[in-house]
Amino acid sequence: MSTNPIPQTQAGERKKITVQTLRQMKESGQPIAMLTAYDYPTALALDQAGIDAILVGDSLGMVVLGYANTLPVTMEDMLHHCRAVARGARYALLIGDMPFMSYQVSVSEAVRNAGRFLQEASMDAVKLEGGRERLEAIRAIVSAGIPVMGHLGLTPQSVHQLGGFRPQGRLAAEAQHLVQDALSLQEAGCFALVLEAVPAQLAELITQRLEIPTIGIGAGPYCDGQVLVTHDLLGLFDRFTPRFVKQYAQLRRQMIEAFRAYKEDVERRAFPTDEHSLFMAEEEWQRLQEWMSDAFSE
Ligand code: KIV
């Protein structure tokens, strides 16, 4: 009997990944591959590549909308991009990232906003940042039937409080705090946990202690899964590339080359050619010519 936890029909066709699938993957030691997407074609490609989970991250504020950080991203921005992703992905687990101020103000607002991701944007789950200070909101969202992914370590929505995008948990006291937060998030009902920019030993320790899967980004190789911002992986983001990113392509360079080649072709009239044009049938063209001479003769 196969021990592969990735769901398949009897005919061997892929089935939709659920939060339970991720749990089974942890239990059977199968690494989870997650990436971000913000639009339809990327979601389609990730799904075709067999990526297990797609996060519509609020990183879209930086890599798609050009903001300096994720703080200006709104619920409406998130829902708009989530809808596009949901149209492209059929199999991957879809997770919508709750933006800054959508879950911090009150528990009832947090539940209402989490619900909008499922009800209005076809997401399967939500993610939110923070530890013990978020437990009440997480419990309420989970008890509304909405799966929640936690996010600890470098939590970009707290960039000003953290003093920049810097690694977390390097000191024993900080690490201890993170271990306690991770256990509390599990206890509050999170189905998985993102660990961002924390030492590899700490991520390993948390991963071993938790029953729910950990998904690392800049957290070393011992998490149950990994996530990257797709624009970083593809070499599409211009401002900086964090040390923990592995670039699998340099698409920005390829895009610039393609745009330059197009400009040159337009300037030297090498595009479009007959191959890219459509023509009237000869008799229709003749008719038009005749009409022109009648209509415009002096
Ligand atoms: O917004 C995002 O893309 C994220 C990932 C970096 C985990 O939160």
Q: How confident is the model at residue 4 (pLDDT cuts 50, 70, 90)?
A: low
Kindly give the number of the ligand 1 atom that is closest to the alpha carbon of 194. Answer: 7
- Number of the ligand 1 atom closest to the C-alpha atom of 129: 8
> Is the pLDDT score of 297 beyond 90?
no
pLDDT in tens, 96-145: 999 999 999 999 999 999 999 999 999 999 999 999 999 999 999 999 99
Mean pLDDT of 279-290: 98
Position 1 confidence tier, pLDDT thresholds 50, 70, 90: very low
Nearest atom, ligand 1, residue 229 CA? 3
Centroid of ligand 1 to alpha carbon of 283 (angstroms): 60
Residue ranges around ligand 1 (CB below 6 Å) = 36, 55, 57-59, 97, 194, 196, 217, 227, 229
Q: How far is the CA of 94 from the centre of ligand 1 (A)?
A: 13
What's the pLDDT tens digit per position in 186-229? Answer: 999 999 999 999 999 999 999 999 999 999 999 999 999 999 99
Query: Would you say 197 and 244 are in contact if contact means Cβ atoms under 8 Å apart?
Result: yes
120 among known catalytic residues: no
The proportion of the chain whose per-residue pLDDT surpasses 70, expressed as a percent, equals 98
pLDDT value at position 239? 85
Residue of 38, 51, 55 to mutate, ligand 1, most atoms within 8 A of C-beta? 55
